[in-house]
Chain A
Amino acid sequence: MKMKINFGLAINQALHQLFSTDENIMLIGQGVKSPWYVGNTCTGLIDRFGENRVIDTPVSENAMTGIAVGSAITGMKSIVVHPRVDFVLYAMDPIINQAANWHFMNGGKSCVPVVFWLIINRGGEQAAQHSQALHALFTHIPGLKVIAPSTPYDVKGMLVSAINDMNPVVFIDDRWLYRFDEDVPEELYKIPLGKGVVRNSGNDLTIVSFSYTAKLCEEAVKELQKYNISAEFIDLRTIKPLDEDIILNSVNKTGRLLIVDGAWRFNGVSSEIAAIIAEKAFNKLKAPLRRLTLPDTPAPASSTLEDVYYIKSSDIVKSAIEILKF
């Protein structure tokens, strides 16, 4: 059985089904009672599973994140949600010092099956501290996995994998994705972490993206067809561990690469992918690769400034055409 549901409801469905099949799963975080914070993703969870396992919290990001880590160390599978990525900056110690290092520094004696669920909530003139996309910070850290799915089908299957993973996983969510819907199987299923997917096959150039900008890339690929440009589009889904093979195989075929990341440019995911291409596909490139990212400035408030700040699908089309003109 499949049902057409949107991205937020796919998360909600995954949580309901996971909670009902495994009593060691718990969710903690600011706003799990409130659609203001978490949209429709947590609807019905408290009513069904109780306030012992679904915990709305005081505004104490550092301790709440550490509590999720401590619960995971002692036998729970915990999820901690931060309804704005910006808020998690209070909680870098439990994520980076503790969870990421834990299994290694304790010689494999202890695991931390925790999901750090971080929601990007940009746009709407929310300015610099409600808009940041900080996934690159986490991809820098050994011991963390970082996922950023873009479709309802993927988010459900990847959440199931992430919550059942015995390692800490950072789940980068984006409220801009919540409006998209598609058919999602009703039963539980897993999508492996660390595997990208080719959403569109093509020969002229490779476009790589993930999370919300993946949706923009899908639009751009259709637009490029009008110019007779056949783009191969890869949705990475997981950004660490990175599916290098899927990128290299495609670039080896097309010889051209556009990387689209809705976050900052310097030392970002796009820089890492560019470095991998330089190291492993140097002589395959027919044109310099290009990166389409946010400018290295904070997010503005005013809508006129937001308009030039965020990536649009027309920017992707333009960059692709320029690569082909080289």
Chain B
Amino acid sequence: MADAFLESARDVLEGQIDFEGQRLAELLSTAMLATAGFLSFVVGYMTQNIQLTLWIGLIGAALTLLAVVPPWPSFNKNPIDWLPPQQGVSQLNIEVDGKKVR
């Protein structure tokens, strides 16, 4: 019971995503942050208002972190089909100091 709970808690905290999701997250963070930076400068310069630059930049960064950091389901759409665990090992006879371990 406690083990299962800890296991699920670790899954949530680690927030692992699959390889396709990692590629997508990388692309998203780069594109969104670069766009926010570019927009913040252009809008601020056009309106001659540096506070607008600051806030567009900060809000853009916050949105990017929100979009990229949590393990959203869309980052886990291509799970890997791992091979099934092999049973061969259990057939081996392993002896340590004359005692049979398995």
Answer yes or no: do A and B interact: no
* A interface residue numbers (CB < 8 A to B): none
* B interface residue numbers (CB < 8 A to A): none
